[in-house]
């Protein structure tokens, strides 16, 4: 793992997310690219060079944020981009090759209904870069136990498992597989791909209405340091990614969530 992208917003949790990303990068010898997209007001009035002003303020904010955390000798670079977050992420990935995006999840408060906001949700939905979401105020710890939940053992993408395999190798993590048989499962879904078998420490097969319900039933038993899911083109999680915000009643985890994709 070489390049980690950290989109930074104006949230109370931004500093904690950045610190987690730096701590993670320090363990994996990765570079961190701290990123913020900005847009120009449609009505600029009499202000000249408004783009330059906004870009300068954005860079100042990023520098201030980086100066507020422990850098731990990690190589950190700043990226400010004019335009939408998704378009900017796609351009950065094309240019640099991003291995992982680390974003903050919303508040742990039960009063906060949203798990992933529009920025994080749109990145999950509209890009093929794997995403690691970090709960509010969550401090980095070595990832020793991972619960990988899925409804099908079919694995079509050759790259989807790359970030998980890297984490397992780096931290000597134990991966517990949770295969959730949902009502419309097919027999081929029950056949575990050989690459998943190589990661497997244990396998639990459960029957639930949704993958998330399977996670809720078994996550306390496994007590993982990280939860891992696939963003597939069909199934329960695909329903979540249809919109740019994800409500806690639809999905929630109090540990980092690694969302695997595949280019």
Same CATH topology for 3-134 and 145-228? yes
Please give the pLDDT value at position 60.
77
Q: What phi, psi does 170 have (nearest 5°)? A: -70, -40
Judged by DSSP in three states, 58 sits in helix
Element (H, E) at 22: helix 14-28
Q: What phi, psi does 123 have (nearest 5°)? A: -65, -40
Report how far residue 218's alpha carbon sits from residue 216's, in angstroms, rounded to the nearest whole number. Answer: 6
pLDDT of 140 higher than 90: yes
The more confidently predicted of residues 176 and 233 is: 176
242 Ramachandran zone, left/alpha/beta (phi>0; psi -120 to 50)? alpha
Assigned architecture for domain 145-228: 3-Layer(aba) Sandwich (3.40)
Average model confidence (pLDDT) for the chain?
82
When pLDDT is cut at 50, 70 and 90, the band that residue 94 belongs to is very high
Please give the pLDDT value at position 12.
67
Q: What is the pLDDT of residues 181-213, one digit of tens each?
A: 988 888 999 999 999 999 999 999 999 988 888
Query: How much is the pTM?
Result: 0.84
Domain-wise residue ranges, the chain: 3-134, 145-228
pLDDT of 175 higher than 90: yes
pLDDT of 250 higher than 80: no
Please give the pLDDT value at position 71.
93
DSSP letters for 75-108: -EEEEEEES-HHHHHHHHHHHH--SEEEEE----
Report how far residue 67's alpha carbon sits from residue 57's, in angstroms, rounded to the nearest whole number. Answer: 15
The more confidently predicted of residues 79 and 234 is: 79
**Helices and strands per DSSP (H, E), number in the chain:** 8, 12
When pLDDT is cut at 50, 70 and 90, the band that residue 122 belongs to is confident
Percent of the chain with pLDDT over 90: 45
- Beta partners for residue 204, in sequence order: 178
Assigned architecture for domain 3-134: 3-Layer(aba) Sandwich (3.40)
Q: Which of 98-112, 159-173, 246-260 has the highest mean pLDDT?
A: 159-173
């Amino acid at each position: 793992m070489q390049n980690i992208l950290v989109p930074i917003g104006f949230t109370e949790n931004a500093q904690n997310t950045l610190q987690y990303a730096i701590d993670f990068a320090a363990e994996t010898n990765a570079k961190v690219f701290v990123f913020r997209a900005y847009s120009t007001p449609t009505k600029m009035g009499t202000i000249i060079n408004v783009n330059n002003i906004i870009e300068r303020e954005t860079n100042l904010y990023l520098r201030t944020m980086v100066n507020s955390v422990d850098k731990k000798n990690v190589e950190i670079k700043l990226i400010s981009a004019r335009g939408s977050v998704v378009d900017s992420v796609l351009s950065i990935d094309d240019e640099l090759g991003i291995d992982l995006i680390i974003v903050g999840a919303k508040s742990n408060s039960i009063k906060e209904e949203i798990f992933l906001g529009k920025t994080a949700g749109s990145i999950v939905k509209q890009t093929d870069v794997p995403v690691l979401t970090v709960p509010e105020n969550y401090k980095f710890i070595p990832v020793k136990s991972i619960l990988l939940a899925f409804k099908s053992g079919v694995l079509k993408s050759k790259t989807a498992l790359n970030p998980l395999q890297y984490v397992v190798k780096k931290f000597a993590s134990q991966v517990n597989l949770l295969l959730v048989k949902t009502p419309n499962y097919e027999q081929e879904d029950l056949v575990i791909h050989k690459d998943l078998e190589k990661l497997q420490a244990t396998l639990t097969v459960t029957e639930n209405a949704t993958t998330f319900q399977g996670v809720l039933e078994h996550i306390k038993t496994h007590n993982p340091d990280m939860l891992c899911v696939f963003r597939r083109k069909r199934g329960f999680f695909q329903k979540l990614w249809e919109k740019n915000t994800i409500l806690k009643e639809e999905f929630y985890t109090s540990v980092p969530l690694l969302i695997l994709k595949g280019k």
